[in-house]
Amino acid sequence: MAEFDFIAWLRARTPADPRVVVGPGDDAAVLAPFSRPVLVTVDMLMDGTDFHVAEVGPRLAGRKAMAVNLSDIAAMAGRPVAAVVSVALPQSKGRGFGEELYVGIREVADQFGVSVVGGDTNSWAGGLVVSVTVFGEATARGPVLRSGAKPGDWVMVTGPLGGSILGHHLHFTPRVREALALHEAADLHAMIDVSDGLAADLNHVLKESRCGAVLVAEAVPISPTAHELSRTSGKSPLDHALGDGEDFELVFTVSPADGERLLRDQPVPGVRVSKIGECVAEGLSLEAGGERRPLAPTGWVHQLGE
C-alpha cells in the first residue's frame, strides 16, 4: 500500500479495534485470526457511472462505495469486520475533496463497526474511482448463498422497491442488521441484495438454485419514488419496482412455514417483510390479475419493448 497523507489521517481517526493487530501504515494490515468462514467482497465505483460527483459531492460518493459492499455482506447474512479502500482522485481536486470522500466512507463504516484497516490513495488526470473491499464473518448458521432456493419456497423481500435513482441509491442503509435478524429468526434458503433490479437479481438466485419462481404483481411492494418516477418515465410503478436497480433491499427464500411465521412476527423492527411469490420448478413469470406471463430477467419493461 502506498504511503500518503490520508493513511496517517485515517489512522488518527480509526477507533481501536481488538481485531486489528496492525492498522494502516505498514505494508499490509494484520487482522486477528478468523474462527469462522471469511466473506470477501469488492466493488469499484466510478464517476459518471455510479454517481456524478460534481452533483452529489465526494461525501455521498464515499458513502455509497462503502454501503454497496456492506450490502453484499448483508446478502450472505454475514457480519462485516474490516475494509480496505483504494482510490484514484482527480488531480484537479484538492485535499478537501479526498477528505470528504473518506468522511463518507467512514460514516457508513462506523455505523456497522467496520474498521478501515488500510488503503491506497492515488491521484491522476482521470475521474474519481473508488474501490472498497470488505471482509466479514459468517455467523454460526453459516453464510446464506444464492444456490439454496427450492421449489415451494416463498420469495420474500425486505422493503419497497423502485425509483432508487431519485436518491435512495446514495442514502440507503445496507440491510446488515436486518439480514442477521432474519437469519436468526428463520432458515434462509437463499438470499441476494437488489442491485441490478428485482427480476434480474431473483434470476441470479434461480440460476444458481436451478429452479424457477412466480411473482405476484399485486404483492410486490412499490416505493413512493417508483410512483413519483412513473409520472414522467412512461413506465408503470410496477415496472420500476421490477426493473430498477440499486434498491439494496434483500430478496430471500424460505420454507412456507418459516415464511408464515416471518409475515406474522415481522422480526425486523422498522422493516416490513413481504411475500412476493413462490419458487417453482423452472422459469421466471409474473402473475397479474390472475394471468401468468413470462418475466424477463431485465424486468417487465424490457419484455414489453421486445
Q: Which residues bind a copy of itself (CB under 8 A)?
A: 1-3, 21-22, 25-44, 46, 48-49, 72-73, 75-76, 78, 82, 84-88, 117-120, 122, 124-127, 129, 131, 133-136, 138, 143, 145-147, 192-193, 195-196, 204, 208
Q: How far is the CB of 138 from a copy of itself (least distance, A)?
A: 7
Query: In sequence order, what are the residues at sequence separation of 6 or more whose Cβ sits closer than 8 angstroms to the Cβ of residue 92?
Result: none
> What is the DSSP secondary structure assignment for residue 234, as one 8-state letter?
S
Kindly state the smallest distance separating residue 180's Cβ from a copy of itself, in Å: 15
Cα–Cα distance list, 231 to 146, 168, 196, 199 (Å): 34, 18, 22, 22
The least distance separating a copy of itself from the CB of residue 213, rounded to whole angstroms, comes to 18
Q: What is the largest CA-CA distance in the chain?
A: 62
Tell me the closest approach of the beta carbon of residue 176 to a copy of itself, in angstroms: 12
Q: Write down the least CB distance from residue 151 to a copy of itself, Å.
A: 21
Q: Is 289 exposed, middle or buried (0-12, 13-18, 19+ CB in 10 A)?
A: exposed
Judged by beta carbon, residue 146 or residue 302, the one nearer a copy of itself is 146
Residue number, 2 or 257, with CB nearest to a copy of itself: 2
Grid cell, residue 141, equals 448458521
Q: Which is nearer to a copy of itself, 135 or 154 (CB)?
A: 135
Please provide the DSSP assignment of 236-296 as one string: -HHHHHHH------EEEEE-HHHHHHHHHH--STT---EEEEEEESS-EEEEETTEEEE--
Please name the residue that has the C-alpha cell 462485516.
80
Distance CA 71, CA 74 (A): 5
Nearest residue (CB) to a copy of itself, 175 versus 236: 175
Min dist CB 32 to a copy of itself, Å, is 6
Is 71 in contact with 201 (CB distance < 8 Å)? no
Closest CB to a copy of itself among residues 18, 289: 18
Q: Which is nearer to a copy of itself, 136 or 277 (CB)?
A: 136
Instruction: Kindly state the cell numbers that stand for 195.
Output: 442491485
